[in-house]
Amino acid sequence: MSRTRLLLFSLPLLAFLVMGYFFLRALNSDPSLLPSTRIDQRVPAFTLPSLMDARAMISEQDVKGPLLLNVWATWCPSCKVEHPVLNELSKNGIRIVGLNYKDVREAAIKYLEFNGNPYQENIYDEAGDLGLDLGVYGAPETFLIDAEGVIRYRHVGVVTPENWRELLWPKWQEMGGKGP
């Protein structure tokens, strides 16, 4: 077989290998995970009422960390799963600000009374406006915000003891956060 023929015949094999590589990668990646476009940017400007007190207004000036900005709602089943973890973190001195996302105020307040309140403050985003500006596409989501109010990381999905230890805790320390 001549050299060019060998080359020609190996083309399909090569194409197969390249495609196989990408398909294999696609198998192991979760297509529902979107990268955040807000990393290394400031928390977008907003003025929204506090969940606990409708007359108290909260703005981006109040979201300076190091803190966790946790997007949650009473309609979100996964949020119930991570709630005990947040309670634990809060007990250990991690500052958590809640973004109560597209929820009903009374229901949210009752929920916190019943399940414990890990949040130092809760932003009441009834229409999902701040959520949209943050690129939130579901709950729960957790943003790591540094002392300047810059978003350092976004975690989509439940915070578990495992991913806190392995993923979020190192990032938390990296941006100067203290705690357990």
Partner 1 sequence: MRLFILSLLMVVGTAYATIDAYEFDDYEKEQRFRALIGELRCPKCQNQNISDSNAGLAKDIKDRAYRLINEGKSNQEITGYMVERYGDFITYRPPMKPSTWFLWFGPFVLTSLAIVILLIRKLKAKPPEPVSVDAAKHKKVEDLLKKLDD
Minimum CB–partner distance for residue 19 and partner 1 (Å): 12
Query: Which two tokens mark 13?
Result: 């094999």
Under the binding rule (CB under 8 A), the answer on residue 34 touching partner 1 is yes
Cα dist from 118 to 56, 94, 99, whole Å: 19, 9, 12
Q: Which of 133, 150, 157, 160 binds partner 1 (CB under 8 A)?
A: 133
Residue type, 129: D
Under the binding rule (CB under 8 A), the answer on residue 147 touching partner 1 is no
At residue 180, the 3 state secondary structure works out as coil
Under the binding rule (CB under 8 A), the answer on residue 127 touching partner 1 is yes
H/E stretch holding 122 = strand 121-125
**Longest CA pairwise span in the chain (Å):** 83
Under the binding rule (CB under 8 A), the answer on residue 135 touching partner 1 is yes
Looking at the Cβ atoms of 62 and 126, the one nearer to partner 1 is 126
Minimum CB–partner distance for residue 57 and partner 1 (Å): 21
Cα dist from 141 to 16, 144, 151, whole Å: 38, 10, 13
Looking at the Cβ atoms of 36 and 142, the one nearer to partner 1 is 36
Minimum CB–partner distance for residue 27 and partner 1 (Å): 16
Under the binding rule (CB under 8 A), the answer on residue 54 touching partner 1 is no
Cα-Cα-Cα-Cα dihedral sign, residues 4, 10, 14, 16: positive
Under the binding rule (CB under 8 A), the answer on residue 131 touching partner 1 is yes
Dihedral (Cα; 92, 81, 123, 127), 10-degree rounding = 170
Under the binding rule (CB under 8 A), the answer on residue 16 touching partner 1 is no
The contact set with partner 1 (CB under 8 A) reads 8, 31-32, 34-38, 102, 127-128, 131-135, 137-138
